Structure 1
């Protein structure tokens, strides 16, 4: 059965929900998100909208490359939660055009896991809007493709936003969980010919609320290179006091002479760049024109695909 229900809160939808997931089968079509994905059409040329009602869904979810334009919408990131506890990922997204809104995704495997990935995303033209993504080490694996994150909360400890996507984060809270040493990013651009990297615009790099009282015990850096051409831009962000004055750090076995780590108009106690590492690719941008190349319109060609999703975004600075 396909439900056609008005749901105006869904960004970019035509007003029709195709299926509903509920812990109570009487309230929807399916009781698990995975079941709804498996029964979605393949290669759909329009959004296939799945409303996931409030509840904790303990499952591992794969969205294969044949399931394109899947849109998952929840009842809020603290109410609709997809939860796993494992070495691996909670949700693995491979179908292009994916979108998630108002959903929490958690991998609770903790500090003992070698890689507790909440979201593994290789979906081109994918969006997370008003979501919470929670893990510890390697929380968000932005593997490849153009990706956009808006008004999201992302929690982790070590290299917890990593991968080789071209990803833009706007108005997101980037939360460090307690650990003696924290690295926010580990971008893995491999070649000067790739147009990949991470841009953070108007985001906050700070401590998670539950660990705020231990902030003075933490030393954090904005990132380290997972591959030699690692690229990260921090634009108009708040940088908290636990970020070390040097800003960036080395990754064992990776070079530092080809990285691009730039900052522009940041504020906060950790934003002073006087003590940043003395690498050739680490610099403070002097004007808007230099920063424009890292904005959504340029970096992920946002104007060509985000407007059709109904998600607010800033094309420039």
Structure 2
């Protein structure tokens, strides 16, 4: 019986320790990426490929300053990776590919439980002279429980494909002109700067910041922008409905005068606007004047507003954000 109790207690201890490695937010391994050869790898993709499948402990991939000309894919079997640069201005991952809203992405994230810090993802395709403006994502986020701190996302069309899952963006820089934050993600953008580059289209056409893709009343997705800043070149719409139940909230956002008076577009859902949830609350700046906004912009109830603004009720079910590492070192 003593042996059985010892075996049982030992097994429970091993189980608890195993579970703690997944949930304590501590980095257990560090990999250095340095183009000059003074690290573990010279490319980010090679570093990611070295992480074991179904990784149970957090792995930090520290990317030294530089411009890394490569596409980066993090497959589903590589969870719990912290990808950290030295700053979003000095550590840049870029590639020039266009024509496909998914396959052309510079970063393709499919693994759950991911964190990125202090790094920029850029698609140069639409930025090159003479190229037609087309789908050219800087990042595709098709995973659950992904967080981005002080990161940059730069392109012209479909810059950030916020495709699926719960996501948190804090103090990020996002640049684009056409549907440059789009998808079916369930995301909060806290303190993010949105640089609208309507002039980059070279056509005089208006820009569209969001194209959210919520497709039913029971779909939990939506984009919430809190306490950020919209600036750049216009004219620009806050969003156009990619799907019939599109949901976007701008809260205490500073808006420059580039925002068109009507604010929003129903796109392909004209005369079906009742299902679209577009709202602005306590925003400031020349672009926040709502006197000529579309009549179907929603006034949210205090209950609905509280649900969307509270990080714990909207995206942080189970406390996954607290369990992730907050810094790499």
Residue 204 (structure 1) aligned with residue 204 (structure 2): no
Cα deviation for residue 301 of structure 1 reads 2.3
- Structure 1, gaps ≥5 residues long: 1-11, 208-214, 313-317
Runs of 4+ with deviation above 6 angstroms: none
- Structure 2, gaps ≥5 residues long: 1-23, 99-103
Alpha carbons 1:107, 1:117 under 8 Å: kept:
yes
* Residue in structure 1 matched with residue 134 of structure 2 by the alignment: 114
Alignment map for 1:22-37 (pairs within 5 Å): 22-25=34-37, 27-37=38-48
Cα separation, partners in 2 of 1:311 and 1:134, compared to 1, 3 Å? same
* Residue in structure 2 matched with residue 168 of structure 1 by the alignment: 188
Measured in 2, the distance between the counterparts of 1:310 and 1:95 equals 16
Measured in 2, the distance between the counterparts of 1:283 and 1:195 equals 17
Alignment map for 1:302-317 (pairs within 5 Å): 304-311=319-326
Alpha carbons 1:86, 1:113 under 8 Å: kept:
no
Alpha carbons 2:244, 2:269 under 8 Å: kept:
no
* Residue in structure 2 matched with residue 267 of structure 1 by the alignment: 284
Alpha carbons 1:264, 1:286 under 8 Å: kept:
no
Map Cα deviations across residues 102-124 of structure 1 (whole Å, 9 max, x no partner).
00110011162421100000110
Q: Give the TM-score normalised by the residue count of structure 2.
A: 0.83
* Residue in structure 2 matched with residue 6 of structure 1 by the alignment: none
Cα separation, partners in 2 of 1:225 and 1:185, compared to 1, 3 Å? same
Alpha carbons 1:54, 1:79 under 8 Å: kept:
yes
Measured in 1, the distance between the counterparts of 2:29 and 2:86 equals 14
Aligned match for 1:92, one of 105, 108, 115: 108
Aligned match for 2:293, one of 270, 276, 282: 276
Alpha carbons 1:232, 1:260 under 8 Å: kept:
yes
Aligned match for 2:275, one of 258, 273, 278: 258
Measured in 2, the distance between the counterparts of 1:108 and 1:252 equals 29
Cα deviation for residue 41 of structure 1 reads 1.2
Cα deviation for residue 285 of structure 1 reads 4.2
* Residue in structure 1 matched with residue 169 of structure 2 by the alignment: 149
Cα deviation for residue 42 of structure 1 reads 1.3
Measured in 2, the distance between the counterparts of 1:133 and 1:250 equals 26
Aligned match for 1:231, one of 228, 235, 247: 247
Alignment map for 1:178-217 (pairs within 5 Å): 178-179=198-199, 180=204, 181-207=206-232, 215=233
Alpha carbons 1:102, 1:130 under 8 Å: kept:
yes
Cα deviation for residue 309 of structure 1 reads 2.4
* Residue in structure 2 matched with residue 19 of structure 1 by the alignment: 31
* Residue in structure 1 matched with residue 146 of structure 2 by the alignment: 126
Cα deviation for residue 302 of structure 1 reads 5.7
Give the structure with the higher percent helix. 2
* Residue in structure 2 matched with residue 55 of structure 1 by the alignment: 66
- Count of residues paired in the alignment: 288
* Residue in structure 2 matched with residue 103 of structure 1 by the alignment: 119
Alpha carbons 1:77, 1:132 under 8 Å: kept:
yes
Measured in 1, the distance between the counterparts of 2:276 and 2:306 equals 19
